[in-house]
Structure 1
Amino acid sequence: MIAVENLTKQYRRLRAVDDLSFTVRAGRVTGFLGPNGAGKTTTLRMLLGLVTPTAGTATIDGRRYVDMADPIRHVGAVLEASSAHRGRTGRDHLRVVCQAAGLPARRADEVLDLVGLQPAAQRKFKGYSLGMRQRLGIATAMLGDPGVLILDEPANGLDPEGIRWMRDLLKGLAGEGRTVLVSSHLLAEMQHLADDVVIVAAGRLIQQGPVTDVLGSGQAAQVRVRTPEPGRLTEAIEQEGLQVRGEADGSLLVIGAEAAQVGGVAFRAGVELHELTGERVDLEQVFLELTAGKAAIR
């Protein structure tokens, strides 16, 4: 488990992280979300001992990363696309890391299989695409067979097939009981991938919890409707105590209603309908609602 408690980082006039607390549970994929400048990367760097907190703590299974005697066997991390010697093959890069960490050389091929890079194992790093470098980074993180995996934007450079592969891999690792924390801007993908989310803005916690609960914290269901008599329908809907607004495409959007409810209002008012579509709130909508207007702290 990852535990962040009252974590703060002050850079002169900029407070990048402000009294931030959250937990990441084992056996689940947790999405770490926030706008640019929200403090996500700074938080991850503090968690991995790369930045010293101004206040608070960030621990992994009750210990700071810097206090672990053999961290590669406990925590795997990728904070940016993998870096390696340009003239070294993917397999050789992994074997060098194994040797430095005291791991058996066979782990290089095992993790190449895990991330689907075995066909490119003998290709030099300079010939790797960005997506292949992302896979190599994950392979490197998995060399020690860690129980905790921390990834910052791991889907960058991946095509749709690669993104699906990433989703299946991370879900599978969490299913083995590992703790998986993923920072990403791909909100639609995070809705499919994550079991839990932690949303931050301006260095502060905005929302955390299971994805289903966070989605429930946003706007209620909404209905898109088209009619040749928008004025009459708007009046009838508002008389029911529902919120309705006109959209640029000429449709009406009814907030907090189900399609059958709006259809009933139109029927009683004698208004002809050309479209009646129920829409469910998604993670992107909730994210934008929760983080709207929250600028970085100065």
Structure 2
Amino acid sequence: MADDGIAVRGLTKIYKNVRAVDDLSFTVSPGRVTGFLGPNGAGKTTTLRMVLNLVRPTAGTATIGGQRYADLTDPIRKVGALLEASGAHRGRTGRNHLRMLCDAAGIPISRADDVLATVGLTPAAARKFKGYSLGMRQRLGIAAALLGDPDVLILDEPANGLDPEGIRWMRDLLKSLAEQGRTVLVSSHLLSEMELLADDLVIIAAGKLVRQGPVAEIIDSAGSAQMFVRTPRPEVLIAELGAAVTATVVEGGALRIVGADGPTIGAAAMRVGAEIHELTVERRDLENVFLQLTAGKADIR
């Protein structure tokens, strides 16, 4: 596939006196799933709407493969988007809803059945939309986004309404699409799921970029893992580890140690005869890092 990445440069949106998005710049690369994260009111949905030319920026640009969405000659075949659960006529079946979209876009109506199968809705294809659950509506919205077999997917909270099995299905689908070389940008509040799904992250708060990079790199940048140690001779062990580590006693009498890994602690304990009764590691996860990076920066609008 060609370079179909997303480039956001100096994007700004001001509503009256509120800067919903403030000089925001980031890139989304093909062949990877990029998670778009931020607290409530951070400006995520406004940003996605500007990328899709649904909202006019106050300043800055957003391009897909080097072009504005509005300038794409055949956008449905270039970009698939889901910004909210699919809105279809309540009395229309899922299959007929997609066939109508196919007809309007000049896509063979057989494509409707293809994408229904992709999202697991074939058994419900003949059911009317009014009988769809929220999770089924999300799947139908993703099916609509896939109709044009697009190179780029932009999804806002696509896991809303999905049960655990559905969330796992979503993860597998988006990963497989990225592996095909597509650009996948996903906004979500499910941080544990984003840690499993995303290759890269873009984290914003109050309309501004906080951090961008690979998931592991962002998690590692938050600091070393914490080690918890139980020993009858904590003072001796702390003295042997020296000033390079930080050790504090936590509830229950265990030592919380930052700056030394398990083998280092074990070797120090052996040297001074400090018997180890328990040694556990608490690794950083995305939720902890996200809260640390965005602490005090949330801006409820």
What band does the TM-score fall into relative to the shorter chain?
Answer: over 0.9
Q: Give runs of aligned pairs for residues 1-20 of structure 1, distance below 5 A.
A: 1-20=5-24
**What displacement does 1:158 show?**
1.3
Specify the alignment match of 2:291 in structure 1. Answer: 288
Compute the TM-score of the two structures, normalised by the length of structure 2. 0.92
The gaps in structure 2 that reach 5 residues or longer are none
Specify the alignment match of 1:87 in structure 2. Answer: 91
Compute the TM-score of the two structures, normalised by the length of structure 1. 0.93
Q: 1:99 to 1:285 in 2, by over 3 A?
A: same
CA contact (8 A) 1:40 1:183 kept: yes
Cα shift readout 1:77-132 (whole Å, capped 9, x = no counterpart): 01111111112111011111111222111011010011111011111111111111
The yes-or-no answer on 1:120 pairing with 2:117 is no
What one-letter code is carried by the residue in structure 1 that aligns with 2:274? Answer: V
What is the SS of the residue equivalent to 1:66? helix
Q: 1:249 to 1:87 in 2, by over 3 A?
A: farther
Cα shift readout 1:218-268 (whole Å, capped 9, x = no counterpart): 1112212233555x2674377342112344454332123211222233334
What one-letter code is carried by the residue in structure 1 that aligns with 2:239? Answer: A
Specify the alignment match of 2:226 in structure 1. Answer: 222
CA distance in structure 2 between the aligned counterparts of 1:44 and 1:222, rounded to whole angstroms: 37
What one-letter code is carried by the residue in structure 2 that aligns with 1:213? Answer: E
The gaps in structure 1 that reach 5 residues or longer are none
What is the SS of the residue equivalent to 2:154? strand
CA distance in structure 2 between the aligned counterparts of 1:297 and 1:127, rounded to whole angstroms: 34
CA distance in structure 2 between the aligned counterparts of 1:121 and 1:228, rounded to whole angstroms: 65
Report percent identity of matched pairs.
68
The yes-or-no answer on 1:261 pairing with 2:264 is yes
Q: Give runs of aligned pairs for residues 1-298 of structure 1, distance below 5 A.
A: 1-228=5-232, 230=234, 232=235, 235-236=238-239, 239-248=242-251, 250-296=253-299
What is the SS of the residue equivalent to 1:92? helix
Q: 1:224 to 1:118 in 2, by over 3 A?
A: same
What is the SS of the residue equivalent to 2:196? helix
CA distance in structure 2 between the aligned counterparts of 1:273 and 1:91, rounded to whole angstroms: 63
User: How many residues matched?
Assistant: 297
CA contact (8 A) 1:4 1:20 kept: yes
Greater Cα offset, 269-278 or 60-69: 269-278
Greater Cα offset, 141-150 or 122-131: 122-131
